[in-house]
Amino acid sequence: MPNTSIKCLLALNWLLALTGLGWAQDIVVGKTEYLSSCAACHGEDAKGDGVLRSVLKVPPADLTMLARRNDGHFPIAAVTEVIDGRTFIAAHGTREMPIWGFDAKVQNSIPAIVDYLNHLQVP
């Protein structure tokens, strides 16, 4: 039989699922994947100021402005296609050797990364 703290965690997870607040956990997953796969170029705050910016031929995009540049709507499908490699971005490399597009672990995390980026948008 689970101890009290495990029971509390299970009850909290159940409550979050019922109330639709489970997205908070997805944000953590998205942020973690973003930081490990994207932040070196796009920066920890997604403003295009990552540690590798100075060595890149093309400056990384400010990912907090995607909705503003799209009439106030976050372009979920377009962002997903850039991340998974369907939309070619020269700075991301060729389709034969994408930076992350065909990595199964990242493929499964793409929706969480997209959701995280959506939450970073500047109004």
Q: With bands split at pLDDT 50, 70 and 90, how would you rate the model's confidence at 1? A: very low
Phi, psi of 61 (to 5 degrees): -70, 150
Question: Are 71 and 121 contacting, i.e. CB atoms less than 8 angstroms apart?
Answer: no
DSSP 38-76: THHHH-TTSSS--TTGGG-SSPPP-GGGTTGGGTT---H
pLDDT score at 78? 96
pLDDT tier for residue 3 given thresholds of 50, 70 and 90: low
At residue 31, the pLDDT reads: 94
* Distance spanning both ends of the chain, measured CA to CA: 48
- The per-residue pLDDT for range 65-123, each reduced to its tens digit, is 999 999 999 999 999 999 888 888 888 776 655 555 556 666 778 899 999 999 999 98
pLDDT score for 4: 60
Q: What is the pLDDT of residues 10-66, one digit of tens each?
A: 555 554 554 454 556 667 889 999 999 899 999 999 999 999 999 998 999 999 999
Please state, in angstroms and as integers, the Cα–Cα distance from residue 84 to each residue in 15, 63, 77, following that order: 33, 16, 11
